[in-house]
Each structure stands twice: as C-alpha cells, then as structure tokens.
Amino acid sequence: MKAAPVFHVYLLGNFEQPGLTKLLTELGLEAKPLGDPVEVTEPALILVGPGQEAPAGYHDIAFTPPVDASASVLRELLRVAMENVVLKRQVEQLDAQAARRHRQFRELNRIGIALSAEKDIDRLQAFILTSMRQLTHADGASLWLKSDDEGGPKLFLASSQNHSIDKSTYSAFTVPVDEKSVVGYAVSKGASQIYDDAYNPPPGKPVGGKSFDAQFGYRTKSMLTVPMRDYNNKVVGAVQLINAKRKLETRLTKENVEQEVVSFHPDDVEMLESVASQAAVALDNKTLLKDIEELFDQFVTASVYAIEQRDPSTAGHSGRVEALTTKLADEITRIESGKYRDVIFSKDQLKELRYACLLHDFGKIGVREDILVKEKKLFRYQLDLIQWRFDSVERWAQLRAELEAKRWNGVDAARVAEIERRLEAELDQYRVWFEAIAVANEPSVLPEDKASTLSDMKGHDFPDVSGRVHPLIAPQEFHFLSIQKGTLTNEERKEIESHVAKSHDFLSKIQWTKLSPLMGNIPEFAWGHHEKLDGSGYPRGLRGNEIPTQTRMMTISDIYDALTARDRPYKPAVPTSAALDILNAEAGRGQLDPDLLEVFIAKRVYDVTASS
C-alpha cells in the first residue's frame, strides 16, 4: 500500500443509492471502481455494493451502504465509516508500536543480562556491536573508547564490524576528541548524532565516512553515533553505527546503497543510548576486574619471587613447574584417545591450575631459612666452630711441644727430636680427622672409612686454656655428619616437608572463588603435590582417586624439574633421558599416573623448559 494525505474511495459492484456520487463530491471525495488486481492507496474506504464481498485483507476498510438510506443518513454513515478507518489504523499503529517496544524491551533485557555475564573483554566488545547492529539493522559498527593522553583526550578504535566487507576493518587507530570527526564531535558534545547522509551532514557538523570508504571501496550513507556514559554519567566513549538497512542480511555494494539503506529511526536513539550506557558500565566493570586480576597475578608472581629469594638455588622452579603442568593440561585437552580423552580444561580451570603450580611451594616461607638453604650436613657456623677447635687444639699441641722441647734443648737432642716427631704425628692425625669431617659434610653417601674415622674421634676431648675439657666433635655435630645421604636429619626433613601443609594453610586464607567460582581448588591441588598414588607420599598418604588429576600432573612436573634443575648446589642435574627413566620407574611402581606420564613423554611436554 502507498501512503496518501487524503481519503480515497473505491466502489465494488453496482450502487442504487440515489445521489451517492453527488454526496461524495460534496464531501470532497472522488470514487473510482476497485480494480483487479486490487490496488488501494491508503487511507481508503471501499464501498461494497449489494451481493459483493470485500476482498481478502480489506474487510477492516470496507463498508456496505444501506440501499434505502436517505442522503442525510448516508452522509453520517460515510463520516462514521471514515472515522472508523482512521481509528483502526491508529490502533494498528499503536499495536505495532507497542509490539516493537515490547520486542525492544525484551531485547534490552537480554542484552543487559548478557553484558553482565560476559567476562572476556574482546567477546564483550563484539557482543555490544552485534547487538546494536541487530537492533537497528546496521551494516557496520565501531566501538570507540576514550583515553586521556598528554596531548589531550583521544578516542581509540577498540573493535569494529562490517557485514558487507569481508576483510577485517579493525586497526589500531585514534582520533582526537574534537569537532573534526563525527565520533569526536559526538563525544565532545555528549549527544547522539544522526546523519541521513554522512557526505551531506547537518550544517556545522563534520563529514563522515569518506576516508573509510576510500580505503575499503564502500559508501557510508546513514550514520548514528551514540555516546557511552559510565556510572557517573561521564562520556567514556561512543558506538558508531553506519548504514541502516531494510533487511539485516542484505550485503551492500556501491550500486545498491541508495535502494537498500534507510535512515536510522529517531525513536531508537533513546534505546540505543541505554544500550550504550549499559555497555560502558559493563566494559568498565570488566576492565576493573581485569585490572584486579592482573594486579593479583603480579602479587602471585611477586610472592613466588620472594619465596625463591629465600632459597636462590630453587629460583625459577615454581615457574617451570607451572609451564610444564599447564602445557600438559593443554595436551590432555587435545588428545582424542586414552584414559583422559574426555577431559577438557576450561580457561578458568587452567588459571586455577596455573596459580596452584606457582604457589605450590608457598609454605616454604614458614620453614627456617638455614634449613631451607642447607647445602651441607653441617650449618656453616658449626663447621666454623669445628675449624676453630681444630686450630685451637693444633696450636695448643704446638705450644705444649715448644715448652717441652725448651726444657731438653741442648740437654737431650734425641728427646727433642722425639717431641717434634710426636707433634708432627698429632698434627697429621688432626688433618686426617678434619679431612674426614669435610668429606662427611658433603651431601653424598658417607664412605665407610670416613664413617669409621668419625667414630674414632667421637670420644676425643681437648682441654682449653683454663683446663676445662671439651669434645672435639659435639654430639649434635656428630649426629649431622652421620647422615647417610643428603644434608638433612629426619627432623629437618620433616620441617622441609611441612611446607606442603603450610602451603595449604596459607592458600586457604585467600578467597579464590571471588576471582572465579571455578578457582576454589587451589589449596587442595597445592596440598597434594608430594602425594603418590600408592600412598607412599606426604603429608596425608593419599591413594589413587583421592589425588585430583591436576595434582597428579603437577607431581610429574615437580619431580621432573627437581631432577633436571641445573642450579641445585647439593646435587648434579640429571639428563632428560635419565629423568624420564626415573619417572617411568615410579609409574611402574604405581606411584605416578602412567597415562598422564605417557602424554608428558609422547607430546614432549618437557621441551617447554629445555632452555631454562
């Protein structure tokens, strides 16, 4: 139907009412026969003659005049009929408008929920543009965010879409917040801008789209630019929509722009401003959340750095365990066969695993530093004290010999020579003993001959200058030197092992679920990284399925890195092949997960830290 400013009257059939034509003329109406096919120009009234039926779809504007009606009655009936047509059309328009508003309300509600739910900023920006394009049938859209630079506020292009251009139109691009560009004008004025033709803007406003069109062979015609406002009603950016179309799915060319592109509807501006403001708030929330997550990530990294500064020999260990474990998790997600083929780690689960790996040794902050960095069986001060004793006893022996020799010097040369021989033998004995102490102090397995030498000196005492007697080797020192392997006593080893429980205690005090509901297992994962499937691990002696998959992966990575690390002063690094053999042996004994280890080896996960 075509719109028209006056009523059109159509006649269907034969009419016997006297004076009908004259009456219509008096009313300023001209009647003409209803053609076939039916073609009606609105607003219209169809007068249906006796025995006729109004065409399908036109009953609401059809009227059958009574045959016996007088001219005055017929005049009133025609007036009422035309008023009814007008009222019906108004009702239809109101119904259509109400339905449209209802659809928009539902769409706004859906968009609001989606904006709140989306966590990824890139996907959020794309969703904002897609939603606003769908609401307006826009062919293209771009999202601009405001930043305050030294040279003044600028708008940078954060995201863009265009249905009719195949290649991406997105590029790092900024414009000043001024009146030289349409988006800059809208933001500087803080008001939405509607252009029916971007090349012919309203007076005093900038031209839009020409540089874009020249670059992409496009024709920007209708344009709507809507400012984005935050909680404080401050303009923080803008969304720019171009080329509203009759149908959303239409792809535009330079040839069909004039036929397919329409103007943006002014009634939609308020709705789009609402969406833009919701989008601004959502982006602000996500940006704030991202900043908090990045700050927390930096805190975690700083915490790991602080822990490793207490034990520089293990610096980088936590980072390498994280790299190995997350790589293994990635490979597990990709595999299509085997025990773990159905296991897929989400983005949040990978982040959870990453933090658990980085902080798995966090409890070492509660372990005494002298034990944590103990490279030898004796603490440095103990070896210094033994050295002092040996220096003292040697010096005392020399003084004794000098005094005795003076008594016999010039009197009995043979006795003086015997004194010197005894002194040299005594000093040799002290050197042998101290050499045995030095060898026993190393973290390697204690040789039998050195163990025997230690036993020989265990009961040897020496007097100080005041005559008090002291053991050459104190009981605690002998206890340390008697360690068969490594540098730690059983008590010290238990204190080192307590770092696992301490890690759990410390990490449990952080409300991880406030970062994400799926990150609550970090303390549990870290707690179990020294557990073994056969129950031989610590601190809880867990078995089998009591150990989460994430923890099993971390255990493999932790052992591999401990074996191959080149910076441990108390042991040499094990070659990769030997380390894998050790891991396979532990899996064969039922201590490690063989399926996870198979992926670790088959996918060469260990290459991740090969250059570390």
In a domain, 337, yes or no: yes
Whole-number Å distance between alpha carbons of 7 and 322 = 79
In a domain, 292, yes or no: no
361 shares its domain with 384:
no
546 shares its domain with 529:
yes
Among 142, 183, 177, smallest CA distance to 163 is for 142
| Predicted local distance difference test score (pLDDT) of residue 465 | 67
130 shares its domain with 236:
yes
What range defines the domain where residue 51 resides? 8-95
351 shares its domain with 391:
no
Which parts of the chain have pLDDT scores under 70? 1-5, 18, 37, 100-105, 107-109, 111-118, 167-171, 446, 450, 464-465, 567-571, 611-612
> Which bin fits 209, alpha (ψ -120 to 50), beta or left (φ > 0)?
left
In a domain, 12, yes or no: yes
CA 186 to chain centre: 33
Whole-number Å distance between alpha carbons of 158 and 126 = 10
| Predicted local distance difference test score (pLDDT) of residue 104 | 67
335 shares its domain with 407:
no
In a domain, 111, yes or no: no
DSSP 8-state code for residue 58: -
363 shares its domain with 386:
no
Q: Count the domains in the chain.
A: 4
**What pairing do the DSSP bridges indicate for beta strands 193-195 and 223-229?**
antiparallel
Q: What is the CA radius of gyration of the chain?
A: 45
Whole-number Å distance between alpha carbons of 126 and 114 = 12
| Predicted local distance difference test score (pLDDT) of residue 197 | 95
Strand ranges, E, within 412-499: 461-463, 469-471
| Predicted local distance difference test score (pLDDT) of residue 2 | 39
Whole-number Å distance between alpha carbons of 341 and 265 = 52
- CA distances from residue 161 to 57, 72, 472, 596 in whole angstroms, order as listed: 41, 64, 83, 43
| Predicted local distance difference test score (pLDDT) of residue 371 | 83
Max Cα separation, the chain?
176
411 shares its domain with 438:
yes
Strand ranges, E, within 221-363: 223-229, 235-245, 261-262
Domain boundary among the residues 242, 271, 286 is at 286
268 shares its domain with 333:
no
559 shares its domain with 575:
yes
In a domain, 297, yes or no: no
Whole-number Å distance between alpha carbons of 238 and 181 = 12
Contacts of 125 (CB under 8 A, 6+ apart): 143, 158, 159, 283
| Predicted local distance difference test score (pLDDT) of residue 147 | 87
344 shares its domain with 266:
no
